Structure 1
Amino acid sequence: MVTDVDGNQYIDFICGLAANTLGHNHPVVVNAITDNLSKGLIHSLPTPIEVSTATTLLEVIPGAEMVRFFKTGADANSAAVRLARYATGRDEIMTVGYNGWHDQYMFDTPGVPAVIASLTHRMPLFAPTDEPLILEKIEARGDKLAAVLLSVPYNRELDNAFLQQLREVCTRTGVILVFDEVVTGFRLAPGGAQAYFGVQADLVTLSKGIAAGMPLSAVAGKKALMSKLNELQVSTTFGGEMLSLAVCDAVLKEYQRIEFTKHIAKLGALLKTEVNQIAEQLDTPLRIVGYDAIPMFLFAKDPQTHVKFAIPFLAEMAKRGILLRREVNFICAAHTEAHINQTITAVKESLIAMKEAGLFKPSDVTS
């Protein structure tokens, strides 16, 4: 729950943009900070907590043998890109999904030199028809591609067969496959998307849930590849900041203790089933799509049409004590079945209010 400046309380599904996996002010996070605060924040040399946290993390991430800590997901992805370029001797990369704000991902935004666009291939993955285009592009540019960074889409569940094909084509062409698990890490399965789909990436990037709200990110992978980072100018002053590392160590153990991914998937499945049934009964276009633990509230595939309905919907939900994002939302450990049932009731009331206001037309249901 969160409370605004006027004292109104809300069930929070934004969860710090997915970072607050255990909820707000969780005892595990608070205790890890208070118990370690007297030891200092950052020192001149590596500390024992960095080693022990790395060990804990490597026990969770499939196939990982080494890890390097950073502060943000974009940092971790950029380190992975530089490592892939160095290891392959190639310059181009492919991005699938959002991989951060750095120039090589957001090459078509203000302030980025136009020449950057020539080194990045941005590919959509919102529909099954996008899948063969990605595989074909890798085949065509394989001898020039250093890496493919994949952040899974949230509007649908990927098919394992596609990811197996992606793994095979990257192996065949010598392209480094990077799973961007900044969001999906520790949510889809204890070992993330790799464990969920049973597909091994060359590198995995992590943030958000890695430390349940504390600023931390990481790149993990096999020793043969990760050890090459020592030959590069990849550095960050705060990667060894001790409080975030202590929280990470404690949080990863807490995930195992409470079976975190099972909890959030169960609640997400309940939310999806009930909301979709209500929306269909009310003859409205809202549907929850994607992964159970990462519910995406979608009114239409067309972004402008979706936003037209999402804005009044979020306002109606806020009136009823539910805090949502416009599309992708997150279940956390603090959510209970009672919270989900309250949310379901609020969805029904909100959709009815929107219908009574004349916001839906018959054609909207099939858009």
Structure 2
Amino acid sequence: MDLTRSRAANERLHSVVPGGAHTYAKGDDQYPEGMAPVIAHGSGAHVWDVDGNRYIEYGSGLRAVSLGHAHPRVTEAVRRELDRGSNFVRPSIIELDAAERFLATVPTAEMVKFAKNGSDATTAAVRLARAATGRRLVALCRDQPFFSTDDWFIGTTPMNAGIPEQDVVSFPYGDLAATEELISRYDGQIACLILEAATQQDPPPGYLAGLRDLADRTGCLLVFDEMITGFRWSEAGAQGVYGVTPDLSTFGKALGNGFAVSALAGRRDLMELGGLRDTRERVFLLSTTHGAETHALAAAMAVLATYTEEGIAARLHALGERLAAGVRAAAAAMGVGDHVVVRGRASNLVFATLDSNLRPSQEYRTLFLRQLITRGVLGPSFVVSSALSEMDIDHTVDAVAQACAVYRKALDLDDPGPWLGGRPVRPVFRRFA
């Protein structure tokens, strides 16, 4: 595989963009050395790099492009709006239409406000919770990887340089007793509990309902981060699957199919603190110049319509189940079923790469990624888009089988080194480059 142009483009990127990418998770340190393609264009479930190599792509746009690249219904809706103007001095009618469409799709919410990225939406939820409760502490789920680029969250990660100490405490996912103990320890100080309702597994029975009851009893707010679960779990998000209504919830990623749009949604009495029809002290909630760009809201409306009319969430689950079964069978057939492990909900699959002692290994991840890339599969995860075909899934499973054959050789040597091609991939959150 020739990646000459991609390597040159990566060097140029590092000279003008810190980290060589505008999102750390897209950095070339997340890929085997010299094997990080720079994308030229995409269509459906496929992308082409600047060298002309074609890949089946998973985790498209960090889970944002769930319908596939350049989805015709979405791009047509965007084109129509571009000719009508993208931003005005007053709200456009599409802001009303998009809000009504969103609330019809997520009926557990009573009001919604749009923004451009998920971090702004989650930070607005935290600010609103603090204002509504008069409390300062935020309790976040420590078992979940990301909530915001803002200080209140990044200050809790190893990349906390330049951030003062934050008023944040944490609780473990799935442990209701531990959460209750935390709230008791900080009696009357916790403004909200913020978490993803589910990640790699469904919540334990009664857990989310227990959090709802705990928040009600102790006066804090329950906030669901639905950036990933929103629409991938169901058209109404995880709250629609599990039947528990949060006070506030945040959406993004799949909402725009790659276009920049996110949403904060929730109870009317809370959201009105950022409005003009409330007598309480005002909250500066979300106020962004580009928060209501017409073409992004048109994309969101097209996405919501496509999901509900075409049963996209069900298709994502069906594709994921087919892929997971194929990968597990291929890994087992090569004798690495305990080492290449597929996890997560079918619509949101990830994989773990374990060493000979069944410990997570960046070296074995590097080997696995390298083998997939050379066989035309760009798979930092196995998160599916609805544009994948059965032929794409079959090709992926075949590539996995060949990668697992190499994985077996490395395990037999107890050394993946000969197949790394350079330094191993690295975790995003680390203190030093």
Alignment TM-score > 0.5, same fold:
yes
Mapped to 2, the partners of 1:283 and 1:334 lie a distance apart of 31
Deviation at 1:283, TM superposition (A): 2.6
Given the alignment, which residue of 163, 167, 176 partners 1:113? 163
Aligned to 2:194: 149
Alignment size in residue pairs:
355
User: Residues 154 and 289 of structure 1 are in contact (CA less than 8 Å); yes or no, is this contact kept in structure 2?
Assistant: no
User: Residues 142 and 175 of structure 1 are in contact (CA less than 8 Å); yes or no, is this contact kept in structure 2?
Assistant: no
Is the counterpart of residue 39 in structure 1 residue 78 in structure 2?
no
Given the alignment, which residue of 146, 155, 170 partners 1:122? 170
Given the alignment, which residue of 389, 397, 414 partners 1:336? 389
Aligned to 2:149: 101
Secondary structure of the residue aligned to 2:132 is helix
Aligned to 2:341: 287
What residue identity is the alignment partner of 2:408?
Answer: K
User: Residues 103 and 112 of structure 1 are in contact (CA less than 8 Å); yes or no, is this contact kept in structure 2?
Assistant: no
Q: Percent identity?
A: 32
Mapped to 2, the partners of 1:212 and 1:142 lie a distance apart of 42
Mapped to 2, the partners of 1:292 and 1:111 lie a distance apart of 36
Is the counterpart of residue 217 in structure 1 residue 262 in structure 2?
yes
User: Residues 335 and 408 of structure 2 are in contact (CA less than 8 Å); yes or no, is this contact kept in structure 1?
Assistant: no
Mapped to 2, the partners of 1:29 and 1:201 lie a distance apart of 29
Aligned to 1:354: 407
Mapped to 2, the partners of 1:164 and 1:306 lie a distance apart of 36
Superposed CA offset, 1:119-176 (max 9, x none): 1013343xx5x55323421343351111111124533332242111111111111111
User: Residues 62 and 194 of structure 1 are in contact (CA less than 8 Å); yes or no, is this contact kept in structure 2?
Assistant: no
Alignment root-mean-square deviation, CA: 2.1
Aligned to 1:318: 373
Deviation at 1:282, TM superposition (A): 2.6
Deviation at 1:348, TM superposition (A): 0.9
Secondary structure of the residue aligned to 2:346 is coil
Deviates most, 177-186 or 153-162: 153-162
What residue identity is the alignment partner of 2:189?
Answer: K
Secondary structure of the residue aligned to 2:223 is strand
Deviates most, 226-235 or 15-24: 226-235
Mapped to 1, the partners of 2:358 and 2:149 lie a distance apart of 21
- The structure-2 alpha-carbon separation of the partners of 1:227 and 1:199, relative to structure 1 and needing over 3 Å to count, comes to same
After superposition, where does 1:231-246 map in structure 2 within 5 Å? 231-234=282-285, 235-246=287-298
Secondary structure of the residue aligned to 1:148 is strand
TM-score after normalising by structure 1:
0.91
Superposed CA offset, 1:89-132 (max 9, x none): 0000011222111100011433443332xx1013343xx5x553
Deviates most, 308-317 or 352-361: 352-361
Mapped to 1, the partners of 2:373 and 2:242 lie a distance apart of 35
Structure 2 unaligned regions, length at least 5: 1-45, 276-281, 416-433
Mapped to 1, the partners of 2:109 and 2:359 lie a distance apart of 41
After superposition, where does 1:1-367 map in structure 2 within 5 Å? 1-96=46-141, 97=144, 98-108=146-156, 109-116=159-166, 119-125=167-173, 130-152=175-197, 154-230=199-275, 231-234=282-285, 235-284=287-336, 285-300=339-354, 305-325=360-380, 328-358=381-411, 361=414
Superposed CA offset, 1:190-221 (max 9, x none): 10010111111111100111111100111011
What residue identity is the alignment partner of 1:310?
Answer: R
Deviation at 1:240, TM superposition (A): 1.4
Structure 1 unaligned regions, length at least 5: 363-367
- The structure-2 alpha-carbon separation of the partners of 1:221 and 1:359, relative to structure 1 and needing over 3 Å to count, comes to farther
Deviates most, 187-196 or 151-160: 151-160
Secondary structure of the residue aligned to 1:297 is strand
- The structure-2 alpha-carbon separation of the partners of 1:297 and 1:32, relative to structure 1 and needing over 3 Å to count, comes to same
Mapped to 1, the partners of 2:205 and 2:112 lie a distance apart of 26
Mapped to 2, the partners of 1:202 and 1:53 lie a distance apart of 21
